[in-house]
Amino acid sequence: MNTDLIVDQLPYVAPFLFVDTVERIDDMGVEGNFTFRKELDFYRGHFKDNPVTPGVILTECCAQIGLVCLGIFLLNGSKGTPNLKIGLSSSQMEYYKPVMPGEKVKVVSKKIYYRFHKLKCDVRMYDSKESLVCKGILAGMLKRDVDE
């Protein structure tokens, strides 16, 4: 499976795209990466003179890689997902380490279940030293127009 096709089908663009690559994907999970470039706009105000990546952005990165990329794969694989509709339905995250500007992270997601258009996953984010940054359970609804 060409993982670039998964990234191309994401319904996000910069500056709100938090997926650089998908390294591995199958029916049970996904692994992908993102580098939080120093010039990202939110660093200008979070925090003054000591920029750090906001937790909500870490959660979004985990959701984009761990839920949406996996959902695209589960919905249709490499065939494409026309008119994808998505919505985060729940998140429970714990944060352990800050992510600084310029840092590359890896998100590893394991499917808990996928049924009735709801995908629930155990997600974990690691820094470049393989230290756990955050972890949690995310769930979302995913469907295509053709599913209605």
Backbone angles phi, psi at 68, to 5 degrees: -70, -45
Residue of 23, 33, 37, 46 with catalytic role: 46
Alpha helices (runs of H) in 35-127, residue ranges in sequence order? 55-63, 70-76
Q: Which residue has the tokens 């998964």?
A: 6
The verdict on whether 117 is a catalytic residue reads no
- Annotated catalytic residues are 46
